[in-house]
Amino acid sequence: MIAEAMVLTGPRSLQRRQMTIPDVGDRGAILRVEACGLCGTDHEQFTGHLPAGFSFVPGHEIVGIVEHVGAAAGQRWGVQAGQRVAVEVFRSCRDCPECRRGEYRRCAVNGIATMFGFVDVEIGAGLWGGYATHVELPWDAMLLPIAEDMDPVLATLFNPLGAGIQWGATLPDTKAGDVVTILGPGIRGICAAVAAKEAGAAFVAMTGVGPRDAQRLAIARSFGVDLPIDVSQDDAATALQRETGGRLADVVVDVTAKAPSAFADAVGLARPGGTVVVAGTRGGGGAPRFEPDLLVYKELHVVGALGVEYPAYRAALEILAMGRWPFDRITRKSTGFAGLAQLLTSLADESARSSGALHNVFLPTP
């Protein structure tokens, strides 16, 4: 059998190839891809800003149907042929000390080099990413069952919503009555707002910058954001205190991308004894205006967030299945093989990205 896949052979160079679907035996499976979400990592791989090596099939927010599964693999994962699943981007050997502690993202056998959407096409059959009709699932893959009636495009939100839960609720231990401020109105910021409200937050603010973020801040109101703040027009801390009777944030979640001054803003928005979750990277740009002494004087808890854990993905799928939030109505753009390079090019354009769709999805169609 033959699969089709988009192989990233160099910066901004995608090639459509036919690849052989392997015989996976007793300890693996073949997934027929239905949809694969796109995020910032995808366009950073595409442009070469994220040094991942070439050549490989990108795509790591994968949803599909198990087309064939070996007996041992099916028992290990609790899945069967014909079942819809989401694929955790990281792989876990289940046996090393890190995996046994639940820290499988630091698996001694796996790691970033074996993540789906990152593996060289010369390894095995090369079908290791979601920009394809099929993906090979090895023994150390981790799968999440999805309800039969859930739209696969909607289901790809398991990844950003899982991130929102991890960063906006689990890591900061968000509690009922908390004031939460989220920096960045992208899909993960909006998902963090949902997670904070699900955890009982009494008030959620979100920051964006100028006209490019205006539409996203408006959409955010439908996802639990009580106060959208355009920081080009208003000081975020002043605006927050004006609406909360003088309170600063119990929890600040920074999900900005390449916004060097955001960390200083996060520290300024947090109340004494509050928690700052840093999930947005600075692109090597440092942290202008950041005053380290404030961490001491305010006794802040600062938590770095790399990736998402399996329980958060599972909780995300449960929230999506409940239908309490209007995820089906967010701005979305889907494309097949022919339009993928153009979509990634537009996502890589800093001036266009914020004004584009919140949710971008690859479908394995012509």
CATH number at residue 230: 3.40.50.720
Return d(Cα 33, Cα 211) in angstroms, integer: 36
Residues 18 and 152 in one domain: yes
Q: Choose among 263, 254, 251: nearest CA to 290.
A: 263
249 band by pLDDT with thresholds 50, 70 and 90? very high
CB atoms within 10 A of CB 284: 8
282 band by pLDDT with thresholds 50, 70 and 90? low
Residues 284 and 214 in one domain: yes
| Final residue before a domain boundary, out of 286, 304, 322 | 304
Residue 256 sits at the vertex; the CA angle it makes with 254 and 260, to the nearest 5 degrees, is 95
Strands 29-38 and 134-137: antiparallel
* 75: its two tokens: 């028992």
Q: Tell me what the mean pLDDT of segment 108-128 comes to.
A: 94
pLDDT of residue 280: 72
Q: Tell me what the mean pLDDT of segment 167-195 comes to.
A: 98
Return d(Cα 79, Cα 179) in angstroms, integer: 40
Cα 128 from chain centroid (whole Å): 18
Q: Tell me what the mean pLDDT of segment 260-266 comes to.
A: 89
Residue 130 has pLDDT above 80, yes or no: yes
Residues 175 and 208 in one domain: yes
Return d(Cα 1, Cα 22) in angstroms, integer: 8
Q: Tell me what the mean pLDDT of segment 321-350 comes to.
A: 91
Query: What domain count does the chain have?
Result: 2
Residue 40 has pLDDT above 90, yes or no: no
Strands 203-208 and 227-230: parallel
pLDDT of residue 85: 99
pLDDT of residue 347: 84
Residues 167 and 250 in one domain: yes
Could you tell me what percentage of the chain is helix, strand and coil, using 3-state DSSP and rounding each to the nearest 5?
Answer: 35, 25, 40
Residues 140 and 83 in one domain: yes
Q: What is the CATH number of the domain that holds 105?
A: 3.90.180.10
Residue 199 has pLDDT above 90, yes or no: yes
Residues 6 and 152 in one domain: yes
Whether residue 148 contacts residue 314, with contact meaning beta carbons closer than 8 Å, is answered with no
Residue 321 has pLDDT above 80, yes or no: yes
247 band by pLDDT with thresholds 50, 70 and 90? very high
Residue 355 has pLDDT above 80, yes or no: no
Residue 63 inside a domain? The answer is yes
User: Phi, psi (5° rounding) for residue 265?
Assistant: -65, -40
More confident residue, 356 or 158: 158
Residue 226 inside a domain? The answer is yes
pLDDT of residue 191: 98
Q: Give 153-171 as a DSSP string.
A: HHHTTHHHHHHHHIIIIIT
The mean pLDDT value of the chain amounts to 94
pLDDT of residue 178: 99
What pTM was estimated for this model as a whole?
Answer: 0.94
Q: Which domain holds residue 256?
A: 160-304
297 band by pLDDT with thresholds 50, 70 and 90? very high
pLDDT of residue 173: 98
Element housing 243 (H / E): helix 236-244
More confident residue, 345 or 62: 62
pLDDT of residue 104: 93
Residues 126 and 186 in one domain: no
Residues 47 and 98 in one domain: yes
pLDDT of residue 284: 66
Residues 147 and 289 in one domain: no
pLDDT of residue 162: 98
Q: Tell me what the mean pLDDT of segment 47-64 comes to.
A: 91
Q: Residue type for 348, please?
A: A
Residues 22 and 119 in one domain: yes
pLDDT of residue 350: 57
